[in-house]
Structure 1
Amino acid sequence: MSKVVLLTGGVGGAKLALGLEAVLDPADLTSIVNTGDDFVHLGLAISPDIDTLAYTLSGKASVANGWGREDESWAFMATLRELGGEDWFLLGDRDLALHTIRTGALKRGESLSAITARLARALGVRSAIVPMSDHIVSTFVDTDEGPLAFQRYFVERRCAPAVHAIRFEGAAAARPAPAALAALADPSLRAILIAPSNPFLSVDPILAVPGFAKALRAAKAPIVAVSPLVDGKAVKGPTSKLMAELAIAASHASIAAHYDGIIDGLLIDRPDAGAPLSIAFAETDTMMVSAADKARVARAALALADSLA
């Protein structure tokens, strides 16, 4: 058995995907990507997590940002700002080409899966990138400032409002992308990994689509999550802040409990004091800065999965 499936969001998950490509034949990796962050902005269909993965795996991502392109220019944004347009969400000149192609293809009736596969190939991505669904699912957060669409909360408001609930509009009527279900049902599947992406904002939208939880439980391969916490804090993003606002202890035990009934094991940086894990786990340095770091975490996650097979 050699195939591996990764459930992932954007930046953190893209790092693990890069590590997996380094230790596997890329043809054996399928990344199922959150699309709850997708939205229409300035008339363009934007898929932030898909694009982050595609740019990262093609070697075109901005090293400093982790999102967007390294070889980017910003004349469009400068002109937009000059004309009084909405400039809170950055769209680089080269990045605009991808969004324009996606928008036109969606209007012609193509599926997001087909568009994503075509764009990934054009960028030179060697592994498969699959959206969680070809149906629209939109993440909303209920905050002390009222309900906010995800990108308004995450980018425009920089996660400042306090969150008391999260909703995935359209999830109940959505279905998993066919390629996602096929990857999970592959008889040669070695492992299913859940990236150290935000469990509540990046992984839960995937699990909210009817059919995913059932497919995961039916899969023959072990399922291992990589904890997004290091020393009780998130490496990047609002995970720690969100857990505090939702009255969830920032611990590996909380991450394991959140994925209860889904995962068989959890990869952590080190055990939390006073919060023992009741699930199989392994330890490694889960910080992913260098290429060697990413490969190390990928190997450790796969080794844990192999031990549970």
Structure 2
Amino acid sequence: MEKRKIKNTDLAIAPINFGGNVFGWTLDEKQSFDILDRFTEAGFNFVDTADTYSWWVNGKGGQSEEIIGKWMKSRSNRNDIVLATKVGSETKEHGYDISRKHILQSVDESLKRLQTDHIDLYYTHFDDKITPVEETLSAYDEIIKAGKVRYIAASNLSPDRLKASFEAAEKNNLPKYVALQPHYNLMEREGFEENYAPLAEQFDLSVFPYWSLAAGFLTGKYRDEADLAKSARGEGVRKYLNPKGLEVLKALDQVSAKHNTTQGTVSLAWLLSNPLITAPIVSATSASQLETVFNAPKLILDQEDIDLLNNASN
């Protein structure tokens, strides 16, 4: 499989980023190992998690990192994996925090759970909107120089704070973010396309969208209220059961039938057709869901497909 470079790094990734929020939540340790084995056996190598996954289970988090750490140790494959995790998210114990103190403490805790000596891509997960961007970047500078982190990235920063971070990095010779993780999919276009796409171009950022399948809505399995009980995440798609959502599903049905594939595969291929998108983040909890993911990089949509999807989702 053709690998893509994360811009301004020497990291090469297959064009799908596995979202580790399911580890320790909808998948137990054994199931997580099985999914990770299948993912990597198919030639993929990019795994995303966060220090707080799955805090909604125990109020604290860390389960996802622990499972990934045990899996990498048992498979002796750390050097084959491009590993991303995050800092700064809110839990029951503390609010959003990207202060120097919190970053220096959190990175060591993540490394311990992940059973590794370095993190390839370390994200500002959420912005506390209080810590000066210089303080955050200086803390990242410390942990990069210590060899604990290779590169830094941003998620859920406002456009203004993202710009301020680049200005501070330039002025003070501090590390720059190399990637952006925005909320972006066929149902959620405006925020990224209007506010972040220009910045991704300006600052030469790789883009890894989260909720690429709109919490499963874009797989086509939720079409009315009765379908919401189909999974633990069902309630999260209620907001998409509207005329626009049904129009998008209709377009996905048409394109997936044309290519003899699934709606989820088409949704991911639509993201991959955008030159700004390096690798969508997507989770899977079964072999059939993994097939949907694996087929996305192979599917090349034509302009007619893209226009149909764009018109339905505008």
What TM-score does the superposition give when structure 1 sets the normalisation length?
Answer: 0.37
Structure with more helix by fraction: 2
What TM-score does the superposition give when structure 2 sets the normalisation length?
Answer: 0.37
Structure with more strand by fraction: 1
